[in-house]
Amino acid sequence: MKEVLPSTSTEVESEDVSEYEPEPVEKIEKPLNMAPGAVKLRSLLNKTFRIEMTDGRILIGVFLCTDRDANIILGSCSEYLPAESKAKTLNEEPRMLGLVMVPGKHIVSVHTDANDYDPGMYIPLSKNINSDDVT
Amino acid sequence: MESEVSNPTVSWRIPNNWADITETFHEAVKDLKLGELLHDDLFGLFEAMSAIEMMDPKMDAGMLCNRGVRKIVSFDQAVQDCILKLDAFSDSEIIGIIDSTLACLVSWLEGHSLAQTVFINLYLHRPYMIEDRTLKAFCLSVYKLLEIIKDLVHKAMVYEEEDFQPMQYGYQLNPDISEQRMIGMLREVEEDLHKKLRGNHNEETQGVYGRIRFIRVFLQVLIIFRKEDQQPCIADCQRLLNTSIDMLYIVQDTVHLGVRNEDVDNEHIVGFEPSINQRLLPPTFPRYTKIRCRAEAVLYFMEMVERFKIVCRIQSISSLHQALDFFIEFSKCSPCILSRSALQLLYPGTNPVNLKDILKDAVKTFICPPALLSKTLLANAQAKHYVDTFLSHCSRPFQNFLQLCGHNRARQRDKLAHLLEEFTTLQDEAERVDAFLHNLSVSSPLSRPHIACFGTWVLYHTLRIMIMYLLAGFELELYSVHEFYYIYWYLYEFLYGWLISALSRADSFLVENEILNELQKNKGTSKKKPKYKKKPRPYNRDIIYLQALQNMCGGYYKALMGFRLEGKLSMPHPRFDSEQVRYEHRFAPFQNLLTPPPVVYSEFRDMTSFQRFQQQPVDSVFLYIAGCKHFHQARQLFESVPMDHEVAELLKICKTNFIVLKLLAGGHKKDSTKPPEFDFTSHKYFAMIKLN
């Protein structure tokens, strides 16, 4: 049946999709950044971090991502308000936040679980050391 | 004694031994390139997108600027610091606390979370520690109110996320009190206050008395609504509701006596801490809940109690069609979630157990199908079985229809479209059952033909749903003015016409059935001619009303075509527009129906093209005059039905539109291209046409 359409409106066509097949996506492996800093950071991925922010709040979560400006993404993150006293003990009742991004410029300090952290593993020697210096 | 919010359990233990890696970290990131992200395989930019950004005031609810200047003090801390007292409250203070809490309750019922409304009242955190009897009883009763309201709303299942937030955030009464004990406690306090008043009548004590009595009576009403096993006693309800209104008048008169906070920056009195529960809220952007003012809250309760009184009337309605009309009418005033839920629970038809019998009665009353009346057909086991099965299949669609009418207005339109799918299946089955029964009845001489009995009944409802769907588009302001003409056309040319003929057919069936009954009654008597009294046909009023509406739609359609011809309608730019797409979108839910058959776009163009009017030239004047005739006809029809508020409004609209079209037909403002205005303030579906 011939359809009478207003003169300038476009006809709605159904696309013929029968011949289109998606090409298999090739995973292009990007070469890993092997600089010592990057290697160090990758060893810290998925470890528990404790970050102190410029306004005194403490965030504890799993380290998931970072970038050059030290913006850090934490997963399963909880927020603790600064404790009243000087003691290291945190205020109870953390606020559950989930996935959080802390801008690098608001980070005062970064701590990680000492039981899980081995500081010396991947830092290459920065200068030549005489065997006599190693005691 | 009772627990307050329990600490959320942490899935892993927080390490207590931290190594400082600040320097290491900052050195390490320097090895990353600009824009490079360091993460493992399971994480990426896509996931990173949904992270909350800290120290951004728009996203970080915990930031200092969002936390408010006040120091947030908990109940325990406040008692310790002697900010909060537990006894020796003046009546004025009690009134203030109760009114503020009721205002919070109203804010909750308007869709906000309990954490930011009712539970900002610190007294509710430890109700058992309060020593003042009145305040303690009130606080405990608030918990019971919350519990019953949540139960009612949950059972009725007509709420959406914008209507109601049931989450309680761990606040529970421990130990719990029974409903009976609570009512008893409130009665005791009431009696004490009553004795005090007799000795020394003053306004403040009267105010407290009125409030406690209102809470007690209101609680009792809700308990009655909630009763599942037996039919709630409506006489009791009415009595309690009347007492509620009386008490609310006392509350209203004494609102000004409640203690207030004179501070401009802080609207809350001692004991109310808006940010106390902030840490319990889900991590989103910062949300502030504005609590209603006390006087408005009282008004809200008064209106709610009036709505409850209306809702109770459903108890006296036994027919399904009347119940549906009641539900639809009630929904039009956009009632609150609690009254909508109460209506669902009070009507027996929303319970599937009762619905099948109600449906059977409904069909019988509507069209007197022989299958439900004639002895021969009733005796036929297979016929009975088919009819039975058909009626059970009708249960769910009608249950959904009743529930749909209980949802908020904005949500109904979508649900109507889905409901049409269910009715399509019903139509199919109805047709087959009718055909089978017709074959049976043809063989028996006495029974009436069974042509399309069940079919007509299902069609009647289907058409009403279709009309509701299209008209809802006007109420929700979904249509642009340049779309009105095909909406009104569909209603005028098809939907109302079909509905009228369905009703007429039902009408004839009923009349036939009566004649047959009369004949059978007079068989034994000596009367030669059965005196058939001229009775008004059963659906007379409905048919006339629908014809009037049909004419109104016809009037709008012709008027709009006239506007188009005179260039008075601003149409979308043709480059960006396809009328066919718009048309098909608007009528999409109708596409799968058998009856009425959907009208495709090409048919629509055919039927509305001017070539159809062979005899006369079609110009705007012709169309205006045609529109005039329609509105005139509508007016005459409305004048012949019993008057009510809506008919009066529609009459006014018809008269106005008649005059406007008459003026236009006479050439008034012929050259003006200013678009006419459609004013929906008097009626949501039918506008008054105004010329500028």
Instruction: Give the pLDDT band of residue B262 (cuts 50, 70, 90).
Output: confident
Q: Are residues B455 and B507 in the same domain?
A: no
Task: Say what the pLDDT of residue A3 is.
Answer: 45
* Whether pLDDT at A17 is above 50: no
- Residues B418 and B543 both lie in one domain: no
Give the C-alpha separation, B129 to B122, whole Å: 11
Give the CATH class of A34-85+92-112: mainly beta
> Which of A97, A118, A126 best probes binding to B when mutated, by most B CB atoms within 10 angstroms?
A97
Helix, strand, coil percent content, chain B, rounded in steps of 5: 65, 0, 35
Selecting from B8, B24, B579 the residue whose C-beta is nearest the C-beta of A40 gives B24
> Among A3-17, A78-92, B331-345, which stretch is predicted with the lowest mean pLDDT?
A3-17
The DSSP output letter for B493 is: I
| pLDDT category of residue A84 using cuts at 50, 70 and 90 | low
Residues of chain A in contact with residue B4, where contact means CB-CB under 8 angstroms, are none
If asked whether residues B471 and B598 sit together in one domain, one would say no
Q: How far is A25 from chain B (nearest CA, A)?
A: 17
Give the closest-approach CA distance of B481 to chain A in angstroms. Answer: 18
Contact by Cβ (8 Å): B114, B167: yes
Co-location of B336 and B210 in the same domain: no
A116: closest CA of chain B, how far (Å): 9
Q: How far is B18 from chain A (nearest CA, A)?
A: 5
Please indicate whether, in this complex, the C-beta atoms of A50 and B18 are within 8 angstroms of each other: yes
Mutate to test the interface with B, among A2, A11, A62, A93 (most CBs of B within 10 A): A93
Among residues B429, B450, B478, the one where a domain terminates is: B478
Domain ranges of chain A: 34-85+92-112
- To the nearest whole Å, the CA of A15 is away from the closest chain B CA by 16
DSSP state for residue B290 in the 8-state scheme:
P
Contacts of A5 in chain B (CB under 8 A): 578-580
For chain B, how many structural domains are there in total?
Answer: 4
Mutate to test the interface with B, among A2, A7, A8, A34 (most CBs of B within 10 A): A8
Tokens of A108: 């005062």
Q: In this structure, what DSSP letter does residue B671 have? A: T
Is residue B588 in some structural domain?
yes
This model of the complex carries an ipTM of 0.71
Q: Looking at CA atoms only, how far is residue A89 from chain B in angstroms?
A: 9
| A99 vs B contacts (CB less than 8 Å) | 47, 50-52
Tell whether B230 and B372 lie within a shared domain. Answer: no
Which residues, including other chains, have CB under 8 Å from residue B190's CB and lie 6 or more apart? B209, B212, B213, B216
The alpha carbon of residue A12 is apart from the nearest alpha carbon of chain B, in Å, by: 8
Residue B677 has pLDDT above 70, yes or no: yes
A36 contacts in chain B (CB < 8 Å)? 28, 31
User: What's the gap in Å between the CA of B76 and the closest CA on chain A?
Assistant: 15
Res. B282 pLDDT band, cuts 50 70 90: confident
* Closest CA in chain A for residue B65: A55
Q: What is the pLDDT of residue A11?
A: 44
- Name the residue among B544, B561, B556 with its Cα closest to residue B683: B556
Q: Which domain holds residue B283?
A: 75-316
Contacts of B264 (CB under 8 A, 6+ apart): none
Across the interface, of B19, B29, B574, the residue whose CB is closest to A37 is B29
Task: Give me the total of CB pairs closer than 8 Å, taking one residue from chain A and one from chain B.
Answer: 181
């049976």: which residue's tokens?
B440
B102 in a structural domain: yes
Give yes or no for a contact between A77 and A92, defined as CB atoms under 8 angstroms apart: no
Q: Which residue of B has its CA nearest to A94?
A: B279
Q: Note the pLDDT tens digit of each residue in B38-75.
A: 998 888 888 888 898 999 888 887 777 766 656 778 88
Give the angle subtended at the CA of B174 by the CAs of B168 and B175, to the nearest 5°. Answer: 140
Q: Quote the pLDDT of residue B641.
A: 93
Q: Which residue has the higher pLDDT, B156 or A31?
A: B156
- Shortest CA gap A91–chain B (Å): 12
Which among A6, A67, A98 is the nearest to B37, CB-wise?
A67
E-strand ranges in B246-309 read none
Please answer yes or no on whether A70 and B26 come within 8 Å at the CB atom. Answer: yes
The C-alpha angle B560, B473, B418, rounded to 5 degrees, equals: 135
**pLDDT at residue B58 in the model:** 82
- Asked if A67 and B27 come within 8 Å (Cβ–Cβ), the reply is no
Interface of A with B in 10-69 (CB under 8 A): 10, 12, 33, 35-38, 40-42, 44-46, 48, 50, 53-55, 57, 59-60, 64-69
Which domain-ending residue is among B265, B296, B316?
Answer: B316
- Measured between alpha carbons, how far is B279 from B72 in angstroms, rounded to an integer? 11
CB nearest B54 (choices: A46, A102, A111): A102
Mutate to test the interface with A, among B34, B38, B610 (most CBs of A within 10 A): B38
Residues B285 and B413 in one domain: no
Name, in order, each residue with C-beta under 8 angstroms of B292's C-beta and a sequence gap of 6 or more.
B103, B106, B107, B110, B300
Q: Is residue A98 within 8 angstroms of chain B, CB to CB? A: yes
**B586 and B687, same domain (yes or no):** yes
From B88-102, B254-268, B409-423, B512-526, the region with the lowest mean pLDDT = B512-526
What would the DSSP string read from start to end of B664-679? HHTTTTTT--PPPEEE
Polymer length of chain B: 692
Contacts of A27 in chain B (CB under 8 A): none
Is there a single domain that holds both residue B434 and residue B541? no
* Pair B506, B585 in one domain: yes
Nearest to A66 among B33, B38, B283 (CB): B38
Q: Confidence band (pLDDT; 50, 70, 90) for A90?
A: low
Using DSSP, how many helices (H) and how many strands (E) does chain B show?
25, 5
One domain for residues B241 and B137: yes
Alpha carbons B426 and B458: distance in angstroms, whole number? 7
Tens digit of each residue's pLDDT (9 = 90 or more) over B101-139: 999 999 999 999 999 999 999 999 999 999 999 999 999
d(C-alpha B158, C-alpha B148), whole Å: 16
Contact A67 B32 (CB under 8 A): yes
pLDDT at B525 over 80: no
**Residue B484 resides in a domain:** no
**Of the ranges B78-87, B187-196, B274-283, B451-460, which is most confident?**
B187-196
Assigned domain for B530 exists? no
B160 in a structural domain:
yes
Residue B70 domain-assigned?
A: no
Do the bridges between strand A107-113 and strand B37-39 make them parallel or antiparallel, or are there none, so unpaired? unpaired
Do residues B565 and B514 share a domain? yes
User: What is the structure's pLDDT at B258?
Assistant: 92
pLDDT one-digit tens code per residue, B139-161: 999 999 999 999 999 999 999 99
Region of poorest pLDDT, from B9-18, B298-307, B567-576: B9-18
> In this structure, are B25 and B131 located in the same domain?
no
Pick from B19, B27, B63: which is nearest to A111 by CB? B19
Kindly state the average pLDDT of the residues A62-87: 84
B276 Cα distance to chain centroid: 33
A71 contacts in chain B (CB < 8 Å): none
The band of A127, judged by pLDDT with boundaries at 50, 70 and 90, is low
